[in-house]
């Protein structure tokens, strides 16, 4: 029996894959080595990138560090900075929450001091919500001076309608945010608050609804932060699998831990989900790495020809350097982001001419001046 390095399940010696997460047994050594406390820095692959740099950069590539301190298996810092993450794939079917299906009830009529207190309450609520009630407040001034309760009540009702409409819009935005998040992770605390907001708006308690709306936004932010690592890891795995397919590879042997990790996310099991997704990323990278190296060599050849043709390849060299930096941090999304920028530059180069030279993106050479 061997232990699966992704999920820890005991796997029979002759089994082709883990019985729980379906990670291919062939990937066990790579995942175990990369995820362990003594995980290497991908020295062979980093050396390959360094050699590619030296072949296109006349100033030479930075040497591979001799530092023996291993990085964390996955350093996700800068992932969202390097590239916009693709949309998360749904892994749950959350119970839909009801929209605001009824108009808020107008508060009962009041007069005198109670009416003025309500006017001040709405004015202060408008300021907290960023709603400009200035024109209505200006109209209320003369009515208040002469104690014209009829006019004051009309103005207060107008303020109520304006504030209720804004609250309804904010509710719908928060609900859309919850619905997106709930497709990946449970949101029980926010769901309770949404029900309370609907009740408060239905009873005309705008101040209470706004307080609870603040609570629900805070709760959604907390959930997003708590589950950010798992969501980023899932995005990272999707991007690795997509890149592997683009380069003609098959990610299937490493997709089991990704699917199990997504299921764990949907079940609210953060620790197991993050472990499975991190191991899935390592497994996918081990499949991608050989094809990625060959692709970088192909791009290197185009850049060498472009430099010989007089093109400025400085931006491409900078992306190649970035690949080395991101790989040392095990930031696979950053690595692929830099690779795609590099590839986009190389793809803008024109194909070789009949004599074997490569036309640069700057265009063909200018004709010599006539004698």
Q: Where are the domains of the chain?
A: 43-86+229-347, 112-182+186-226
Task: Tell me the whole-structure pTM to 2 decimals.
Answer: 0.64
Residue 166 binned pLDDT confidence (cut-offs 50, 70, 90): very high
Q: Which of 118-132, 166-180, 195-209, 316-330 has the lowest mean pLDDT?
A: 316-330
CA 348/CA 206 separation, integer angstroms: 57
The CA-to-CA distance between both ends of the chain, in Å, stands at 83
CA 114/CA 110 separation, integer angstroms: 6
CA 338/CA 323 separation, integer angstroms: 6
Average pLDDT over residues 180-197: 88
Average pLDDT over residues 352-369: 46
Q: What is the pLDDT of residue 167?
A: 92
* Closest C-alpha among 277, 274, 260 to residue 22: 260
Q: 254-263: per-residue pLDDT in tens?
A: 999 999 998 8
Q: What is the pLDDT of residue 186?
A: 83
Q: 61-87: per-residue pLDDT in tens?
A: 444 444 444 434 444 444 444 434 444
Q: 276-287: per-residue pLDDT in tens?
A: 898 898 889 889
Give the residue ranges of DSSP H helices in the chain.
28-35, 43-56, 79-82, 112-129, 134-145, 149-182, 188-202, 206-226, 228-246, 252-266, 270-308, 314-328, 332-347
């Amino acid at each position: 029996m061997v232990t699966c390095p992704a999920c820890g399940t005991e796997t029979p010696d002759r089994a082709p894959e883990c019985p729980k997460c379906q990670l291919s047994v062939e990937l066990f050594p790579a995942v175990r080595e990369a995820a362990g406390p003594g995980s290497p820095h991908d020295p062979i692959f980093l050396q390959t990138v360094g050699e590619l740099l030296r072949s296109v950069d006349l100033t030479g590539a930075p040497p591979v560090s001799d530092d023996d301190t291993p990085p964390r298996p996955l350093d996700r810092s800068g992932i969202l900075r390097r590239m916009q993450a693709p949309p998360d794939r749904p892994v749950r079917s959350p119970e839909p929450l009801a929209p605001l299906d009824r108009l808020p009830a107008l508060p009962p009529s009041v007069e005198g001091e109670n009416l003025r207190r309500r006017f001040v309450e709405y004015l202060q609520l408008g300021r907290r919500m960023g709603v400009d009630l200035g024109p209505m407040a200006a109209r209320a001034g003369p009515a208040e001076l002469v104690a014209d309760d009829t006019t004051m009540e009309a103005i207060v009702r107008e303020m109520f309608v304006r504030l209720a409409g804004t609250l309804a819009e904010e509710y719908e935005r928060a609900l859309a945010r919850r619905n997106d998040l709930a497709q990946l992770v449970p949101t029980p605390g926010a769901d309770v608050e949404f029900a309370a907001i609907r009740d408060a708006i239905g009873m005309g308690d705008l101040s209470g609804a706004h307080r609870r709306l603040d609570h629900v936004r805070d709760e959604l932010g907390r959930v997003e932060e708590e589950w950010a690592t798992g969501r980023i890891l899932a995005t990272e795995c999707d991007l690795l699998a997509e890149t592997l397919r683009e380069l003609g590879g098959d990610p299937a042997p490493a997709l089991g831990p990704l699917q199990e990790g997504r299921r764990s996310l949907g079940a609210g099991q953060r620790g197991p989900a993050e472990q499975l997704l991190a191991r899935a990323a390592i497994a996918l990278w081990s499949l991608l790495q050989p094809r990625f190296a060959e692709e970088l060599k192909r791009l290197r050849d185009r850049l060498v020809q472009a430099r010989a043709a007089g093109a400025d390849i400085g931006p491409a060299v900078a992306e190649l350097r970035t690949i080395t930096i991101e790989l040392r941090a095990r930031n696979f999304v950053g690595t692929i982001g830099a690779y795609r920028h590099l590839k986009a530059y190389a793809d803008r180069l024109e194909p070789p001419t009949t004599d074997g030279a490569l036309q640069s993106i700057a265009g063909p050479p200018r004709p010599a001046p006539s004698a």
